[in-house]
Amino acid sequence: MRTKISRRTALKALGASGVVLAGGATVISGQSDEQSSDVGELELVYEFEPPEGSPQEPPFGQLPENVAIDPFGNKFVSVPSQVQIWKFGPDDELVDQPFVQFDSTEEFLVGPTGVEFDPNGRLYSAFVSDLSTSEDAETNGVYEIDEENGEYELYAEISNDVEDFPTFPNDIALLENSLLVTDSFSGVIWEVKRGRTEVWAGELWDGEDDFPTGPLAPPAPTADGPQFGPNGLQFTEDKRTLYVANTSKGTIVEIPVLDGSAREPEVFVEGLVAPDGLAMDVDENLYVADNGANQILRISPNGDVEVLAENEGMDGGQETTTEEETTTAEEGTTTAEAGTTTAEEGTTTAEEGTTTAEDGTTTAEEETTTAEEGTTTAEAGTTTSEDETTTDEAGTTTAEEGTTTAEDGTTTTEQGDDQTEPDSEGGVPILDQPADVTFGTTDDQRETLYIVNLALSSQFEEPTPSFVKLDVGIEGLRVER
């Protein structure tokens, strides 16, 4: 039996303090501000029960994490907070609550994460139990589930063999006669066959040398525990490219694939807030559940980013770049080739107080006046208060409390207690940490994107875990081996 990390460390690693699920970077923008006319409005499928208090302490609530859909339109939704998988029918009706009940240890977070349906008739689920302190927890790894009766059996255990450092099996993709499974803590993608696992992409940490720094790797572990790296997976139709969301780094990584083997990963798009689940349409546009921004994004094959859905009256605040654009961030300084640097989700400040773009625009320390009460007033008309808000000349309001700037230029905003609720007049559902996106499979649902709202570290006063859908006007890519 491997040594388990402490419960306190596990909670911090999973975002109890906003460590995992609120990330992001300030970089130059390739994002469209206009929503496509062929995209509908969010529609509610099912509203789950939120936790009664902290989502990390019982009762945990019903927090959905992932969704898989079979060829007949049945939807399977993982609810790790209840150690369950639920089943919704072809008409989005709730069929079984639960369809699968794993053994519960009543610990957070121990349960099923990513789910995927094999068109050959089997349902697979990743399962996290390395965070458990109980000897009775289900084995950490991947389970195979009978679609007819919900009976399950261990398909393969996942372990990195590093003492006191857990693995976090997350999303699943089908590849020929094996499964690919992201490990969000270890920063690798496992190739999983029955009873066998090996690293397919990424560098596995040995527990002694420096933590890997490649595109798939999460930021290095802190005193609070591991950070969150590779998450959602999506293949192109020809299986020659695999896209991976790196949550803490705010990037989408692309991995060329040759004869089923991974080649060198590269960053495709960066500057998202906390990307999670991925899907793809028949035109090979990528759909992203940007967990930390409360947005659903569509990314074209050449890297253009479009916001398809967000909460009315709220701005996700991230800016993006493709691999063709260069961003250098050292000691908090951001230099963009396009000459434009914007910090919308918080404040990114260089050590010397200077940000320089190639067009020669410079904001210097001498242009800033600091008052005794912690208020900073810049000549551009920006006023910052530690406990209040920042308002620029364009009228943008940003919550300042809990904003931190990392050495690599990453800006992370911890969610405070006083949060603004989005305008949801007319019954439009709220996006509350969208964690996964999956296209429907029946003829009348092929243009429908199904979305689960995790609401684990909700920024709203009342968390809203839910199952919603969105008509995007393009058919989704079929799930195939």
414-461 pLDDT, tens per residue?
443 444 455 554 568 999 999 999 999 999 999 999 999 999 999 898
Q: How far is Cα 259 from Cα 238, in angstroms, rounded to an integer?
A: 11
Q: What pLDDT is recorded for position 429?
A: 92
Task: Round to whole Å and give the CA distance between 176 and 393.
Answer: 54
**pLDDT of 267-301, one tens digit each?**
999 999 999 999 999 999 999 999 999 999 999 99
Q: Which residue has the higher pLDDT, 79 or 106?
A: 79
Indicate the DSSP class of residue 62: -
In this prediction, residue 315 carries a pLDDT of: 54
Tell me the three state secondary structure of residue 365. helix
CATH assignment, 7-310+428-471: 2.120.10.30
Query: Could you tell me which residue, 35 or 123, shows the higher pLDDT?
Result: 123
What pLDDT is recorded for position 340?
39
Residues 262/319, Cβ–Cβ less than 8 Å: no
Whether 355 shows a pLDDT value over 70: the answer reads: no
Range name among 15-24, 103-112, 240-249, 461-470 with the lowest pLDDT average: 15-24
Q: How far apart are CA 160 and CA 203, in angstroms?
A: 11
Q: In the predicted model, is pLDDT for residue 390 greater than 80?
A: no
pLDDT-based confidence at residue 352 (cuts at 50, 70, 90)? very low
pLDDT at residue 5 greater than cutoff 50: no
Q: How far apart are CA 329 and CA 343, in angstroms?
A: 13
Residue 129 pLDDT > 70: yes
Give me the numbers of helices (H) and strands (E) for the chain, helices first please: 1, 38
At residue 408, does pLDDT exceed 60? no
Residue-level length of the chain: 481
Q: What is the pLDDT of residue 316?
A: 47
Q: Which of 160-164, 211-215, 453-457 has the lowest mean pLDDT?
A: 160-164
Classify strands 376-378 and 368-370 as parallel, antiparallel or unpaired. antiparallel
Question: pLDDT higher for 323 or 22?
Answer: 323
pLDDT value of residue 357? 41
pTM assigned to the model: 0.76
Residues 6+ apart with CB under 8 A from 460: 419, 421, 422, 430, 432
Flag whether pLDDT at 74 surpasses 80: yes
The whole-number pLDDT of residue 135 equals: 86
- Between strands 31-32 and 305-310, the pairing is parallel
Structure tokens, 226: 């591991």
Mean pLDDT of the chain: 79
Between CA 337 and CA 344, with CA 338 as vertex, the angle to 5 degrees is 110
Q: Would you say residue 32 has pLDDT above 90?
A: no
Residue 352, judged by CB atoms within 10 A of its CB (0-12, 13-18, 19+), counts as exposed
Question: 104 pLDDT exceeds 80?
Answer: yes
Q: Please, which pLDDT band fits residue 121 given cuts at 50, 70 and 90?
A: confident
pLDDT value of position 428: 80
Binned at pLDDT 50, 70 and 90, residue 130 comes out as very high
pLDDT band at 96 (very low <50, low <70, confident <90, very high): very high
What is the reported pLDDT for 369?
37
Dihedral sign for Cα 155, 234, 428, 314, please.
positive
* Segment 214-267, tens digit of pLDDT: 999 999 999 989 999 999 999 999 999 999 999 999 999 999 999 999 999 999
**Which of 102-106, 266-270, 315-319 is predicted least confidently?**
315-319
Give me the pLDDT at residue 36, please: 60
Q: Is the pLDDT of residue 11 over 80?
A: no
Distance of alpha carbon 475 from alpha carbon 35, whole angstroms: 18
pLDDT interval class at 57 (50, 70, 90): confident
Domain ranges of the chain: 7-310+428-471, 327-413
